[in-house]
Structure formats: structure tokens, C-alpha cells
């Protein structure tokens, strides 16, 4: 049975830096340090040498020397200079560490989190033309959410309907829904299920961290030919409305700079910021505005201004 690629990669990641000193090393000693045998080690070295192109960011080939007396040495400039990682590669590294942190034991997570913090700091310091806000780092959910992710992916591959227990925003209890899982997408640091919902007879977006359970059913479904998941995830955000209406909000100078940095916009001359948000859920719009208190004002549409006023009246009456 061939060695899994992941296990071989792990050995190579330990082997190459150990050999990149330019000195001779004993093959049997290397095999012992890597927890493998001589034959596997030689197979790894052969796999490393049988290459036909250099990876992005590298400038010279790896030179491997197998010498008499069971000796091996390696010469390379790969570890003598920083690799030129792209923004996508940095974001992929951060995402991988996020997933690793969920799977590892609690006592191992602090080291992983420190590495994630360093990656976040690098991403924040990138030049503006790298557009870092379009690739935001990840915050994956707990083990239950990851199990739901795998279950939904499996149902999507098998084209089987699923019954999910879903808790809507603001709801205290979850409700059961039978949905056809069209796609699973990642946006704004969260996983989403894009599915046709039988209850509402339309395509809806469900946040995985609000799904309490997933049950695969025997009934199948067909994904419409016109379905395109990119319709529901645009510019790193999960959103869809058949007739999207803009929510126009003015943010005061006290918080405008922070909002502008997050959205990649420039504040207005007076220090404030006016933004148009896609609007599909009026309840979301009210919650979004109220979280900023007096520093956010709805300019349009009028029905959202009225909804905010009613919510404030309810809060005042409750007090």
C-alpha cells in the first residue's frame, strides 16, 4: 500500500531543513530521527528529486548527494531566504492553522494560536494593493460544526436531501427544515450551507454554527442547471436577495475610521462615512444599526428607519 502523501510531506518538511546545512549525514541516523526506515527515506528522497519545475517563490534547484559510506548531503538556497508568499498563500496557511487548532489537544493549541497571530499581523501589514480585506482569516467552529460540514458535503455528493435543526437569528429554539444541499461555501470567516428550503420554497443560506443537527434522508434531488454558488457569495460575503434593496447608513466620525478600514473605504471630508449595504433581512438591518448606538443612522429605506424607531420604543418601554 503506498505511503499517504500527507505522511510523506510531513517527513520531507523535517528532512529538508535537517539536510540543508551542506554537511554529510548518515542515512540510518536520519531514518531513526524521522521515525522511519532506510527504504522509506530513500523513497522520499527520490520523490523529492524527481521534479520537473520549481515551486513558486524558489529560485534554484535542490541538489542531493548520495555518497559512499552511507552518507547524504543536500545543497539548496530554499531555506536561506524567505519564500515570497502571496496573499492567497498566507490566507491558506492561516486557514490550515485554524483547522489544526480545532483538531489538536487543548494543551497544543497555544502554540498554534501564536502562529496564527503572527500570520494575522503579516496580513494586516500588507500594502493596500494586496487587498487584504478580500481574504479574511478564518474562525472555524467547534467539532460539532465540522462534523455537520462533512455530513453536508457527503449529502451534496450523493444528492440526498437532509433534515437540519436550524436556529434563526434571534430565535430561542431551533426548527426542523428539509433542504436540498446545493453547495457549502466559506465567507467572512464562517461556513454556510446554500440550499433549497422546502419550507420557504426557495434557495436560502444557512450558517453552519446555527445548525444543531444534520440527518441525511433517502429522498434525492437535482441541482438546477442555472444554479451558481457565486450568486450567493460575492466579495467574500454570503448574501442573496431576489430583489436586493440598499440599506444606507451614516456612521459618525467617532467610529467611521474603523468602519472605513474594515470595508476598504475612505471617510467623508467631515470624518463620517456613508455606506450602502445589500438588504435582504430587515431584522439584520435593525440589529446592525443598533449595535453602534447613536453613532449609526439609517438614511434609507424609510421602513428600516421606522423599524429601528419601533425597536428603540420597545426597549424604552421595557426599561
pLDDT tens track for 14-40:
877 777 666 777 888 888 887 888 888
Residue 144 pLDDT: 63
3-state SS, residue 103? helix
What gap in Å lies between CA 130 and CA 87, rounded to an integer? 7
Say what the pLDDT of residue 62 is: 56
Distance CA 281, CA 245 (A): 10
Q: What is the pLDDT of residue 269?
A: 93
Note the pLDDT of residue 58: 36
Sequence-distant (≥ 6) Cβ neighbours of residue 258 within 8 angstroms: none
φ, ψ (nearest 5 deg) of residue 28 = -65, -40
For residue 82, what pLDDT is reported?
A: 47
DSSP state of 136: P
Cell of 191: 461556513
Give the pLDDT of residue 254.
92
Cα dihedral angle (204, 205, 209, 214), rounded to 10 degrees? Answer: 50
Residue 31 has what pLDDT?
Answer: 83
Please tell me the predicted confidence (pLDDT) of residue 53: 45
Q: How far apart are CA 100 and CA 91, in angstroms?
A: 14
What gap in Å lies between CA 274 and CA 69, rounded to an integer? 73
Q: 502562529: which residue's cell?
A: 115
Read off the pLDDT of residues 48-72 as tens digits, 9 standing for 90 and up: 665 544 433 333 445 566 655 577 7
pLDDT in tens, the chain (319 residues): 445 777 777 777 787 777 766 677 788 888 888 788 888 888 887 776 655 444 333 334 455 666 555 777 765 555 544 445 667 777 788 888 887 887 778 888 888 888 888 888 877 776 654 444 444 444 445 556 678 888 998 898 899 999 999 988 767 788 999 999 998 887 766 788 999 999 888 888 898 888 999 999 999 999 998 888 877 776 556 665 554 578 899 999 999 998 888 888 899 999 999 999 877 677 778 888 998 999 999 999 998 999 999 989 988 887 6
Give the residue from 213, 209, 286, 207 showing the smallest Cα distance to 249: 286
Q: Which helix (H) or strand (E) holds 170?
A: none
Q: What is the pLDDT of residue 57?
A: 36
DSSP 198: T
Contacts of 180 (CB under 8 A, 6+ apart): 161, 195, 196, 221, 223
- What is the spatial distance between Cα 123 and Cα 301, in angstroms, rounded to a whole number? 36
Per DSSP, which regions of the chain are E strands?
25-26, 63-67, 71-75, 160-166, 175-187, 190-197, 202-207, 211-220, 233-234, 237-238, 245-251, 273-279, 296-300
- DSSP for 199-219 reads TTTEEEEEEGGGEEEEEEEEE
Amino acid at each position: 500500500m503506498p505511503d499517504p502523501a500527507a505522511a510523506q510531506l510531513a517527513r520531507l518538511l523535517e528532512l529538508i531543513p535537517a539536510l540543508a546545512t551542506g554537511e554529510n549525514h548518515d542515512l540510518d541516523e536520519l531514518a531513526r530521527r524521522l521515525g522511519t526506515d532506510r527504504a522509506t527515506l530513500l523513497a522520499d528522497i527520490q520523490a523529492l528529486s524527481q521534479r520537473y519545475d520549481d515551486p513558486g517563490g524558489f529560485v534554484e534547484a535542490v541538489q542531493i548527494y548520495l555518497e559512499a559510506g552511507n552518507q547524504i548531503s543536500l545543497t539548496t538556497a530554499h531555506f536561506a531566504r524567505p519564500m515570497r508568499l502571496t496573499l492567497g498563500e498566507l490566507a491558506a496557511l492561516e486557514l490550515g492553522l485554524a483547522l489544526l487548532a480545532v483538531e489538536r489537544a487543548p494543551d497544543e493549541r497555544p502554540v498554534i494560536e501564536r502562529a496564527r497571530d503572527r500570520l494575522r499581523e503579516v496580513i494586516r501589514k500588507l500594502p493596500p494593493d494586496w487587498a487584504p480585506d478580500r481574504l479574511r482569516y478564518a474562525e472555524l467552529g467547534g467539532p460539532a460544526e465540522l462534523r455537520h460540514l462533512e455530513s453536508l458535503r457527503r449529502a451534496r455528493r450523493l444528492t440526498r436531501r437532509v433534515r437540519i435543526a436550524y436556529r434563526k437569528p434571534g430565535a430561542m429554539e431551533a426548527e426542523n427544515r428539509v433542504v436540498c444541499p446545493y453547495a457549502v461555501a466559506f465567507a467572512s470567516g464562517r461556513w454556510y450551507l446554500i440550499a433549497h428550503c422546502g419550507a420557504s420554497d426557495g434557495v436560502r443560506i444557512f450558517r453552519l454554527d446555527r445548525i444543531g443537527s444534520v440527518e441525511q434522508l433517502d429522498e434525492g434531488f437535482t441541482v438546477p442547471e442555472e444554479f451558481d454558488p457565486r450568486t450567493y457569495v460575492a466579495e467574500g460575503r454570503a448574501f442573496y436577495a431576489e430583489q436586493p434593496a440598499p440599506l444606507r447608513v451614516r456612521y459618525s466620525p467617532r467610529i467611521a475610521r474603523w468602519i472605513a478600514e474594515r470595508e476598504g473605504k475612505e471617510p467623508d471630508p467631515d470624518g463620517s462615512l456613508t455606506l450602502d449595504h445589500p438588504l435582504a433581512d430587515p431584522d439584520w438591518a435593525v440589529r446592525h444599526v443598533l449595535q453602534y448606538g447613536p453613532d449609526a443612522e439609517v438614511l434609507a429605506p424609510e421602513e428600516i428607519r421606522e423599524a429601528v424607531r419601533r425597536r428603540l420604543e420597545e426597549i424604552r418601554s421595557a426599561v
